[in-house]
Structure 1
Amino acid sequence: MPVAPDHAATELLTIDLEHLSTSATVCAIRGEIDLASEAAFRAGLERALGGTPTLVIDLCEVTFIGSIAAAIVIDVLQHQSDRQVIKVVSGQCGTKVFRMVGLSAAVDCFPNRAPM
């Protein structure tokens, strides 16, 4: 049963942590991920790490994604627990950037939550 989301926000970025079950947490991002919001994006992902066996980073409602987002996801992947699987719902903005930097080869990327 879902619980009330853990919520963090800046002017440009909103991050909601949704604990779907004891096995999955969704980190839903809305807004822009760039140099101005990188600290909030990193903090949101770090807050979600390790809590459940699966972490889903949902970028479907991101309106702008700079390459800094890919760098942060790569950094998070390097520091994750071996027991936690990270999946990315890349949406339209994220798909292009993640393909361009090769991140889609390193992490499971999905166009939306449906195929997961």
Structure 2
Amino acid sequence: MAINGGIKSLDEARVQLEHMDGVMVGREAYQNPGILASVDREIFGVAGADADPVAVVRAMYPYIERELSKGTYLGHITRHMLGAVSGDPRRSPVASLPERKCA
């Protein structure tokens, strides 16, 4: 069984995992993707560095370029990425992308 909804932090998820098989953090992960930056280490015990939000955004560039070449409007992609860098002074990788549509 899994709990779905209302989980706002990995600490809350950890408490739920003491008596549940899974925890869903969909809305929080969408609005605050930083919650997932350390999930591998904190929940699953995987060694390694936490995810860097700027690196994650930059990893999206090839996908963005492919989509722009198909005529996809940039805002349709980037609006789902803004939470990844909100509050981060290095957020320029998303903020500096021009609002444009390739023909």
Judge same fold: TM > 0.5, yes or no: no
Give the number of the structure whose residues are more often strand, by fraction: 1
TM-score, scaled to structure 1: 0.32
Larger Rg: 2
Give the number of the structure whose residues are more often helix, by fraction: 2
